[in-house]
C-alpha cells in the first residue's frame, strides 16, 4: 500500500486512537449475521400486492411474531398484531373503535412491538438501528428496544415510566407507527428487483415511488422496463408499444393518472378513424377486473387498434434503418395482399381476421399518415415532459443495470443468449462482435448513451432504436425469443403463427454444467454458494414446473405476481430470501385488498421452502461488503504501523 494512499487515509483518521477505534468497530461488525436479502421479479404494476409483500417482509414478520408469542398469544391476536405492523395508521383507527380499555391495550401492544423490534434489530449495530429511527421518537425507541429490564431492576421503573408517559401524553399512536415502520425496514436488509416493474398491472408509478424511497435496493432491467426507458427518451416505437400494452390490459391509469400524459388526441383519432369498425380482434383483456361497460370495451378496442397499427409502422421504420438487427420476420404490413385479405408468412398465405386498415398505404405501408405523425409527435413531447416519468427513469438508470453480481449470486432478468451447441451467441453491435458478459455490458452502455447523450447525436439516435431492440429483439438478453408475434396474434387465427420460439438458452440452462459456465463467464467461478437468479418466464406450477432448476443452481422467481399470469402459474408470486442460514423460497397466495387486510387481518399466505442451507451461519465477513471491509481494516492496520514507525505523521 502506497505512502500516498496512507497519507490520504490519515486525513480521516489522524491519530493512532482514531484508527484503532475504527478497526475495532469494523472487526466487530464483521461478526454480525448477514442481513436478509429479498428477491422479487415481474411485478408488472401490481402495486397493492407488491407493497403488502414489503410490509410483511414476504411473511418473515408474521413468522417472527409466531416465534416470540406462540405460547402467550392466540393465533387471532397474532394476526391482529401483524396487521398493525403492516398498516399501523389504518389498523389503529379500526382497533380504537372496538377496544374498551384503550390505555391497557396501548401498554400491552407497545411491549409486544418492543419485543419484535429487538428480534429484527439483532443483525444490526446499534448505530445502524439508530439511523433508521425517526427524529421525533428515535431516542425513546432506542432506549426501549436496547433495555434489558430482566438484568437491570434499578432501571425497570424508568422503563415502565417511559411507556406510561407515552400513553398519558397521547403519543402512543405515533410511537406505534414509528416502531412498525422500523420493523418493516429492518426485516429486509437488501431488496433486489429482477426486472419488469412496468405493464399489465395498474400502477407501476406507485411501485417506483416506493422504490425511490427504499433504504437499500437495486434493479435489474426487464424488457418491459427498457421499453418505458426508451419511451421516456422519446423513441416513437417504444412509446407506441407502451400505449398498446396499456390498452391491451384496460390500463390507462399509469399513463394518465401516474404520469400525466394526455391520451385524448389518440382517442379522438381512433374514434374518427375506426368509427364503424367493431375492432373485434382488439378487444382488450381485463385481468385486473376493471369495471368497464360494453360501450367502454368497444371504445378501448378502437384505441387499441389505432395505436397497434401505428406501432407496426414505426417498428418497420426502425428495421429498415437497422438491417443488422436481423428481424425481417417482424415485417408483415408489406406482406399483406389487400385484394385477397391475406398475409404471406414463410411462403404461406394466411387469411386475415381483420382487413380494415384505412391508414395503411399498400404502396408505402410503413409510412405514417399526416394525422398519425402529428399524434405521435404530440405523445413524444408528453413523454419527454412528464416530470414524474423522467424522475423514475433516471432512478432506473441510477439504481439499475443489465445484471448484477451480488454476494456470490448472479442476477439478470431474461437470458444469456446461446446457440444450439450451448456456446454464447454473438451479436454485432457497432462493428464489435460481443457475447456473454461482453454482450450485456455493451447493451447497457448503448442504452445509457441512448438516454443521456445529446439530442440529435449518433449515440442517442442509435441508442434509442437499440432500446426498442432490447424490448423484443431476437438476441436481446431481455427478451430471448425468435420474435414477438403481436401482429399474428391480432390478425391470424392459426395458432401456429403465434408461437414464439425461445432461445436455446432456455433448453441448456436446466443443466448444472451450463449454469456453472455462465457463472464463470461473470467471474463467479468456483464460488461454493453461487446461483443464477432471474425471472421473465413464469413458472407454470399447474404443469408441474419448479422454480428450482439445474440442481439448485438456477432459481426462476417469476411466479405470477401479475394477475394476468395467475391462472397459468396457479400461485401469486415468489420471493426468494437469502439470509444468514441460506436460501429460502417464499410462495405467495393472492392478495385480496388493503381494506380486507385491515378489517379482517387477511394476509398473503406464504409457504417457505428451503432451497439450500449454508454449511455455517453466514456473517457480514462472508459478504461482498465484508470483503471491502476487510480491505479497509487491512489499510487501517498499515496506517497504525506507519504512525508507530514514524513514516506518517500523527496529531
For residue 137, name the pLDDT band (cuts at 50, 70, 90): confident
pLDDT tens, residue by residue, 74-105: 999 999 999 999 999 999 999 999 888 999 99
What pLDDT, in 10s, does the model give residues 296-341?
788 889 999 999 999 999 999 999 999 999 999 999 999 999 999 9
**pLDDT tens by residue, 340-366:** 999 999 999 999 999 999 999 999 999
Q: With contact defined as beta carbons under 8 Å apart, do 401 and 220 qualify?
A: yes
Q: Name the burial class of residue 167, with classes exposed (0-12), middle (13-18) and buried (19+) by CB atoms within 10 angstroms of its CB.
A: middle
- Over residues 415-432, the mean pLDDT reads 95
- If DSSP states are collapsed to H, E and C, what string results for 257-309? HHCCCCCHHHHHHHHHHCCCCCCHHHCCCCCCCCCCCHHHHHHHHHHHHHHHH
Residue with cell 434503418: 321
What local confidence, expressed as pLDDT, does residue 403 receive?
Answer: 98
**Which pLDDT value is given to residue 236?**
98
Q: Is the pLDDT of residue 590 over 90?
A: no
Rg of the chain's alpha carbons, rounded to an integer? 28
Whole-number pLDDT of residue 542: 66
What pLDDT does residue 152 have? 55
Q: What is the pLDDT of residues 450-480, one digit of tens each?
A: 999 999 999 999 999 999 999 999 999 999 9
Q: What are 381's three cell numbers?
A: 413531447
CA distance 164 to 590: 40
Would you state the pLDDT for residue 182? 94
Q: How confident is the model at residue 134 (pLDDT cuts 50, 70, 90)?
A: confident
| pLDDT higher than threshold 70 for residue 401 | yes
SS3 457: coil
Distance in angstroms (rounded) separating the CA atoms of residues 459 and 466: 10
Q: Is 336 exposed, middle or buried, given 0-12, 13-18 or 19+ CB atoms closer than 10 A?
A: buried
- The yes-or-no verdict on residue 149 having pLDDT over 60 is no
Q: Taking residues 518-541, what's their average pLDDT? A: 86
Beta-carbon-side half-sphere exposure of residue 165 (alpha carbons within 13 Å)? 9
What tens digit of pLDDT does each residue of 228-267 get? 999 999 999 999 999 999 999 888 889 999 999 999 999 9
> Which residues does 427 contact at the CB level (< 8 Å), separation at least 6?
417, 433, 434, 435, 439, 475
Provide the pLDDT for residue 291. 66
Query: What's the chain's average pLDDT?
Result: 91
Q: What is the pLDDT of residues 200-210, one digit of tens each?
A: 888 999 999 99
Q: Which class for 581: exposed (0-12), middle (13-18), buried (19 or more C-beta within 10 A)?
A: middle
pLDDT at 148: 62
Plot region of 108 (φ>0 → left; ψ -120 to 50 → alpha; else → beta): alpha
How many of the other CB atoms lie within 10 Å of CB of 1? 13
Average pLDDT over residues 59-87: 93
pLDDT per residue as tens digits for the range 363-393:
999 999 999 999 999 999 999 999 999 999 9
Gap between the Cα atoms of 231 and 468, Å rounded? 9
Q: What percent of the chain has a predicted confidence (pLDDT) above 70?
A: 96
Amino acid at each position: 500500500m502506497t505512502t500516498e494512499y496512507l497519507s490520504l487515509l490519515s486525513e480521516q483518521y489522524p491519530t493512532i486512537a482514531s484508527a484503532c477505534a475504527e478497526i475495532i468497530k469494523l472487526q466487530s461488525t464483521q461478526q454480525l449475521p448477514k442481513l436478509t436479502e429479498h428477491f422479487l421479479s415481474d411485478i408488472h404494476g401490481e402495486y397493492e400486492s407488491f407493497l403488502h409483500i414489503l410490509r410483511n417482509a414476504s411473511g418473515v414478520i408474521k413468522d417472527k411474531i409466531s416465534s416470540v408469542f406462540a405460547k402467550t398469544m392466540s393465533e387471532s391476536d397474532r394476526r391482529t398484531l401483524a396487521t398493525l405492523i403492516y398498516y399501523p395508521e389504518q389498523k389503529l383507527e379500526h382497533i380504537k373503535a372496538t377496544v374498551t380499555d384503550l390505555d391497557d391495550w396501548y401498554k400491552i401492544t407497545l411491549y409486544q412491538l418492543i419485543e419484535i423490534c429487538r428480534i429484527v434489530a439483532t443483525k444490526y449495530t446499534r448505530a445502524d438501528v439508530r439511523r433508521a429511527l425517526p427524529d421525533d421518537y428515535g431516542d425513546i425507541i432506542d432506549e426501549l428496544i436496547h433495555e434489558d429490564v430482566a438484568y437491570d431492576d434499578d432501571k425497570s421503573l424508568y422503563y415502565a415510566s417511559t411507556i406510561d408517559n407515552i400513553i398519558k401524553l397521547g403519543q402512543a399512536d405515533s410511537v406505534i407507527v414509528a416502531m412498525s415502520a422500523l420493523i418493516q425496514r429492518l426485516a429486509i436488509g437488501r431488496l433486489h428487483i429482477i426486472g419488469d416493474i412496468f405493464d399489465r398491472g395498474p400502477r407501476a408509478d406507485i411501485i417506483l415511488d416506493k422504490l425511490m424511497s427504499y433504504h437499500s435496493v437495486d434493479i435489474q432491467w426487464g424488457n418491459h422496463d427498457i421499453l418505458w426507458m426508451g419511451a421516456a427518451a422519446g423513441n416513437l416505437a417504444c412509446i407506441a408499444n407502451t400505449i398498446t400494452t396499456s390498452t391491451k390490459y384496460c390500463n390507462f391509469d399509469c399513463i394518465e393518472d401516474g404520469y400525466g400524459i394526455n391520451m385524448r388526441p389518440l382517442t379522438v383519432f381512433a374514434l374518427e378513424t375506426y368509427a364503424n369498425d367493431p375492432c373485434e380482434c382488439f378487444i382488450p383483456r381485463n385481468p385486473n377486473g376493471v369495471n368497464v361497460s360494453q360501450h367502454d370495451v368497444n371504445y378501448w378496442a378502437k384505441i387499441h387498434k389505432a395505436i397497434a397499427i401505428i406501432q407496426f409502422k414505426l417498428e418497420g421504420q426502425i428495421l429498415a434503418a437497422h438491417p443488422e438487427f436481423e428481424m425481417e420476420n417482424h415485417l408483415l404490413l408489406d406482406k399483406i395482399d389487400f385484394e385477397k385479405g391475406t398475409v404471406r408468412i414463410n411462403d404461406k398465405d394466411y387469411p386475415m381476421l381483420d382487413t380494415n386498415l384505412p391508414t395503411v398505404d399498400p404502396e408505402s405501408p410503413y409510412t405514417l399518415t399526416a394525422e398519425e405523425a402529428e399524434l405521435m409527435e404530440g405523445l413524444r413531447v408528453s413523454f419527454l415532459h412528464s416530470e414524474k416519468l423522467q424522475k423514475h427513469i433516471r432512478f432506473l438508470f441510477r439504481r439499475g443495470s443489465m445484471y448484477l453480481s451480488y454476494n456470490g449470486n448472479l442476477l439478470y432478468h431474461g437470458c444469456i443468449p446461446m446457440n444450439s451447441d450451448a456456446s454464447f451467441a454473438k451479436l454485432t453491435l457497432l462493428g464489435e462482435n460481443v457475447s456473454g458478459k461482453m454482450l450485456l455490458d455493451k447493451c447497457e452502455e448503448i442504452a445509457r448513451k441512448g438516454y443521456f447523450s445529446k439530442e440529435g447525436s449518433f449515440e442517442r439516435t442509435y441508442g434509442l432504436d437499440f432500446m426498442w431492440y432490447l424490448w423484443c429483439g431476437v438476441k436481446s438478453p431481455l427478451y430471448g425469443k425468435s420474435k414477438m408475434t403481436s401482429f399474428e396474434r391480432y390478425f391470424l387465427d392459426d395458432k401456429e403463427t403465434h408461437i414464439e420460439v425461445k432461445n436455446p438458452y432456455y433448453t441448456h440452462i436446466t443443466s448444472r454444467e451450463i449454469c456453472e459456465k455462465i457463472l464463470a463467464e461473470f467471474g463467479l467461478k468456483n464460488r461454493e454458494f453461487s446461483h443464477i437468479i432471474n425471472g421473465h418466464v413464469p413458472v407454470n406450477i399447474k404443469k408441474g414446473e419448479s422454480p428450482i432448476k439445474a440442481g439448485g443452481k438456477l432459481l426462476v422467481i417469476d411466479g405470477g405476481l401479475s394477475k394476468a399470469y395467475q391462472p397459468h402459474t396457479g400461485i401469486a408470486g415468489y420471493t426468494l430470501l437469502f439470509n444468514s442460514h441460506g436460501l429460502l423460497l417464499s410462495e405467495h397466495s393472492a392478495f385480496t385488498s388493503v381494506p380486507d387486510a385491515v378489517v379482517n387481518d387477511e394476509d398473503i399466505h406464504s409457504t417457505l421452502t428451503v432451497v439450500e442451507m449454508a454449511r455455517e451461519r453466514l456473517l457480514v465477513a462472508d459478504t461482498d461488503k465484508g470483503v471491502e471491509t476487510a480491505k479497509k481494516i487491512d489499510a487501517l492496520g498499515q496506517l497504525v504501523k506507519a504512525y508507530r514507525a514514524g513514516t506518517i505523521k500523527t496529531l
